Amino acid sequence: MIVWLIMICEVGFWVLLAAGLATRYLLKMPRLGMVLLLCEPLLEVVLLVVTAIDLKNGAAPDWKHGLAALYIGYTVGHGHRTVKWLDGHAAHRLAGGPPPPKAPQYGKARARHEGAIWLGTLIGGAVATVLLLCAMWYVGDDGDTSSLKAWMFGAWRAVGIHGLIALSYTLWPRKAPEPEPSALPARDPQDVPDLTVRRPGQNEEKV
């Protein structure tokens, strides 16, 4: 049941997102569109409540509950960034707004950008950990919580790997490519012939 609910929440996330953006920019109803976008966090609340009820009814904690915790954590950490990115593209293509700024590609700006994305992953891992700890506390010592611990370990492993990738942009920043040299080599002015000076015998009429 929880797996199906996760799938429904995922589909519902994109359906509400598409409906909110279409209502906001195509139908010219920004308030209603914002209401639809704000309904998205309710999907995670429903998933959290159903997961808690499932555990309360005696279900053994397994991978389904861990997956639900990670899904909620990911939505909290990266959901706002995803909505903001898509909203910028929708405003540009549907409402004639300016094109959204592109992510920086080089130097410290790229490092800061990657660090901000990693911060979302860190927040998602922390949220998932809190939910998993609550589930383990709710089950108590009598239940088998090894699967929840495994999901917690997997969450922080993902945070660590992403952190190393983001750190690499700080330690080894990407450099912007150098401009390509001109096809014609530069020469000193005295080596360039002056075409305005008439040479002897040039353009002279034959008698």
Nearest to 87 by CA among 46, 127, 38: 38
Return the DSSP state at 192: S
What is residue 52's predicted lDDT score, i.e. its pLDDT? 83
Distance of alpha carbon 111 from alpha carbon 104, whole angstroms:
9
DSSP 8-state symbol, 3: H
Cα 52 to Cα 68, 71, 111, 138, 185: the distances in Å are 11, 15, 39, 9, 73
Q: Which pLDDT does position 140 carry in this prediction?
A: 75
Cα 38 to Cα 20, 26, 49, 76: the distances in Å are 9, 18, 18, 13
CA 1 to chain CA mean position, Å: 29
Low-confidence ranges of the chain (pLDDT < 70): 142-143, 181-207
The pLDDT value given to residue 168: 95
pLDDT for res 191: 53
What is the three-state SS of 117-158?
A: HHHHHHHHHHHHHHHHHHHHHHHCCCCCCHHHHHHHHHHHHH
Report H helices in the chain.
2-25, 30-38, 40-56, 63-95, 107-139, 146-171
pLDDT at residue 182, rounded to an integer: 55
pLDDT, tens digit (0-9, with 9 covering 90-100), for 113-136: 999 999 999 999 999 999 999 888
Q: What is the pLDDT of residue 63?
A: 85
> Quick check: helix, strand or coil at residue 180?
coil
